[in-house]
Structure 1
Amino acid sequence: MEDNKRKMWQFPWRYKESIALVGGIIVIGFILQLTVGKFNFFLLSSPVNLIVGAAIILFLIAFSFKRKNVFYQWFSGVPFSVTLITAMLLLALILGLTPQLIKTNPHDNDIFTQLGFRQVTSSWSFVLVYFLTLLSLGSLIARRLVAFKKKDYAFYMNHIGLWILLFAAGLGSADMKRYVMHVYEGEVEWRVFSDNEDVLELPIAIQLNDFYMEEYPPKLAVINRESGTPQPEAKPEYVQIDEKRPHGNIDQWDITLEKYIHDAVRNSDSTYQEVHMPGASPAALVKATNKTTGEMSTGWVCCGNTAQLYMTLNLDSTFCVVMTQPEPKRFVSDIDVFTEDGKEEKAILEVNKPLKIDNWVIYQYGYDNQAGKMSNYSSMELVYDPWIYPVYLGIILLAIGSICLLWSGNKKTKKENDLE
């Protein structure tokens, strides 16, 4: 009965006040988003983020002296924490369901863009909830550390790890830099372009020794000779070139693979031979038979590249057999990396196998798509993140703490079952 008579905003605050306050903070974030635009994280670039980080830590230390205060108890308590986590999850759900854009069109005036849902992590609502979460979690950790208990080690590692992760990932994002560098074979490059197309010189240089690519076998298709439309038009069909399965069907034609050369060079006007050289292109000797008329056509088809022309096999006055461009299976850059402090490292760079050197991570990004395996340059993405080690530390502590919490929980459950 006493709980029902308690008025709103009467201490001790609980879920109603927590929901109202966090909801109000989110509304304030929407208002700021509509009036001043998105939050500019680059304002927190070093040394500003270091100053803000130090201020947060000093605030938490000073605030901990008021830990017996009812406001402190609420601020570091369960109702406020659960409400903040729920708000973060809702914003994360919006982030997952709404396409996120690096840059928004200034003329795009739909409500999702205006409220920051197209760039959730830089919206004022997200930033305000994030800082409140950082302060609330920090206050809880400070309160529990003052009343330190050795048996709560799992709690400390779990919550301190989460706080370090949030702290480093949030404040450190302003110092993260991403660049794409195009390096030509046999050359050393250290320059990139900024978002404003200005040339920047980086404290790291890359020499491309070699770029090579492995390709999947191409496919065969039947197209309309005039329009180039694959057949049948309603649902185009393709035959994957596979010497173990040489037969296939496309619409009204039976296709048979007689011979396939992955690295082929034209030997005459209508034949090919195998030659392993940069200008080589896939070619296949194909036999096509019309199921209805029984007419048969045999000849070479080639997808061609920048070094040699393609070749088609005419079936009649309307249709012909063509070969698609092969898709990349694996592309690799053999590189040497040099840093300003004299470090040198060799690496074989490929997709999902980046190189980590100092605070830089180098990823295989792309190549000349038109030239394909004949590309004479490789594109690499360079990511500079000086806060990555605190992030790793937070993740490790969080993981260890979570495992310890599960272990201690299972141990406690087992003990209770033994007592029963």
Structure 2
Amino acid sequence: MKKRQFWQFPWGFKESLLIVIGVLIMGYALQLSLGSFNYYLLVSPINIILGGTLILCILLLQFTRKSSFYRWLSGSTLASCLIGVLLVLTLLMGLTPQTSSPYSIPHNLASQLGLDRMTSSWPFVMTYLFLLLSLGTLIARRLRKRVLQDWAFHLTHIGLWLFLFFAGFGAADITRYIMYVQEGQVEWRVYDAQGEMLELPLAIQLNDFIMEEYPPKLAIIDRKTGAIQPENNPDLFQLDSLRNRGKLWRYDISVEKYIHEAVRNSDSTYAQVFMPGASPAALVSLTNQDTFTQGWVSGGNRAQLYMSLPIDSTYALVMTQPEPKSFISKIDLFTEQGKEIAYELKVNSPLRVGDWSIYQYGYDNEAGKMSTYSSFELVYDPWLPWVIGSIYILGIGCVVMLFQGYNKKKKGTKK
């Protein structure tokens, strides 16, 4: 039997890998000469036209299905090489800090090669398009064989192809805006990246902003410099209802009383009062072999002055600002169609209306729970339902594949 020569059809793994590496080299050459790929050029309807052209090419390639080139292009070897390279690029993306702007000026070799903005780099884009073409022809070729046992293959591969297609071509249509809404007011205006005001088809009314806080911490500071002691390894005492005694630096500390919602009721004492300007306060005793001191400390806020507890002429006990545990914005959302939705917007719990997703973004960090406004991130993504649908198809295919494998194993055991 005559041995197949290198670069002789049908091409195998070595030829496929070399071709994919050649595509990467071309991509890096374009990256170094032209810079990053501007995917914003693919906004609708350009992405729809290009996507339709890609599908048309896959269909036209079916007329060449008897050729050796088509068998290679639609083979699993090429698709596996492309998926492997795309996974390596994705791994590099995870290991390299990414910049949010594809137009930032490159300052080093990694940036010039597009490693810090991987999804808009030419090597990634060219590998992605090549994979769509190869995987699409592979699916089209296998679909001609209407075999019931291939359901798992069809569902997993079609789901993967649709996910890559919709996620890639739809990326240019995703727009993000930050909206700042004062409590009790309605806002529908945002600013784009160029600083121009835009009116959105959505309006948000902020009814209330609620924040939950963790108990603050106690620290001993240098009264002149404000540095937490000891400076080389700052020590903090976490206020906790289950622990009211402990050690803070070189002092024994005892929390006699802690009030999370406190208001000063004299020059040196606090009482529990539930009101917007309340702040945490604690009655604390500090002891060591040379010192005993007791008094109230409070971190204060915009409504109240802080209070520290002097220990001696050098050091004082202070309370840090409490860290946010959760924050919620109670809003009413209005649409152009006259729809009104009441919703409690939390972090990682967005409100989705049509093609829009509204996220809790931020608040006035200096004011804390006294913040008079909330900021919201509004994301417009008309392709998101298609991306989610493709993930479901991929998931169903994986489940079918597991069941098929289990049934084959069961039949093999019976034999």
TM range (shorter): over 0.9
1:110-259 correspondence to structure 2 within 5 Å: 110-259=108-257
CA shift in 2, pair 1:107/1:151, >3 Å: closer
- TM-fit CA distance, 1:7: 3.0
Secondary structure in 2 aligned to 1:220? strand
Structural RMSD (CA): 1.3
Measure, in 1, the Cα distance between the counterparts of 2:192 and 2:52. Answer: 30
Asked if the contact 1:237–1:251 (Cα under 8 Å) also holds between the matched residues in 2, the reply is: yes
Match of 1:374 in 2: 370
Q: Which residue of 2 aligns with 1:334?
A: 330
CA contact 1:248–1:256 (8 Å) conserved in 2: yes
Count of matched residue pairs: 415
Take 1:123 and 1:411, find their aligned partners in 2: how far apart are those partners? 44
Report the CA distance between 1:104 and its aligned residue.
6.5
Aligned match of 1:263: 261
In the alignment, is residue 66 of structure 1 matched against residue 64 of structure 2? yes
Q: Distance in 2 between matches of 1:189 and 1:98?
A: 38
Query: Tell me, what secondary structure is at the counterpart of 1:201?
Result: strand
Letter in 2 for 1:180: I
Q: For residue 279 of structure 1, give the secondary structure of its aligned residue in structure 2.
A: coil
SS in 1 for 2:71: helix
Structure 2 unmatched runs, 5+: none
* Residue type of the alignment partner of 2:330: D
Match of 2:351 in 1: 355
Q: How many angstroms apart in 2 are the aligned matches of 1:255 and 1:105?
A: 54
Letter matched to residue 209 of structure 2: F
Aligned partners of 1:33 and 1:116 also within 8 Å: yes
Match of 1:53 in 2: 51
Q: Provide, for residues 108-134 of structure 1, a one-character-per-residue CA deviation record: whole Å limited to 9, x for no partner.
A: 421110000000011010000000111
- State how far apart, in whole Å, the 2-side matches of 1:354 and 1:412 are: 43
Indicate the SS of the match to 1:348: strand
Where does residue 276 of structure 2 map in the other structure? 278
Matched, 1:318 2:310: no
**Aligned AA for 1:135?**
L
TM value normalised by structure 2: 0.98
1:354 Cα deviation from its structure 2 partner: 1.0
Following the alignment from structure 1 to structure 2, what is the Cα–Cα distance between the partners of residues 69 and 341? 54
Contact 1:303 1:310 in 2 (8 A): yes
CA–CA distance in structure 1, aligned partners of residues 230 and 101 of structure 2: 40
For residue 262 of structure 2, what is the amino acid of its counterpart? A
Retained in 2: the 8 A contact 1:243–1:257?
no
SS of the equivalent of 2:170 reads helix
* Conserved? CA contact 1:231–1:250, under 8 Å: no
5+ residue gaps, structure 1, are none
Is 1:33–2:36 an aligned residue pair?
Answer: no
Equivalent residue letter for 1:94: L
State the 1:194 CA deviation: 1.2
Deviation at 1:105, TM superposition (A): 8.1
Tell me which amino acid in the other structure corresponds to 1:64: Q
The reply to whether residue 389 of structure 1 matches residue 407 of structure 2 is no
Q: What is the one-letter code of the residue matched to 1:235?
A: N
SS of residue matched to 1:30: helix
Q: Which moved more, 1:36-45 or 1:368-377?
A: 36-45
How far did 1:175 drift?
A: 0.5
What SS does the corresponding residue of 1:370 show, helix, strand or coil? coil
After superposition, the C-alpha distances for 1:25-70 in whole angstroms (9 at most, x for unaligned) are 1111111111111111111100001111111111111111211211
Q: Is 1:297 the equivalent of 2:306? A: no
TM-fit CA distance, 1:8:
2.7
Aligned AA (2:115):
F
Post-superposition CA distance 1:187-243 (Å, at most 9, x none): 111111212222111111111011111111101011111111111222111111123
* Distance in 2 separating the partners of 1:396 and 1:275: 52
User: Which residue identity is paired with 1:205?
Assistant: A
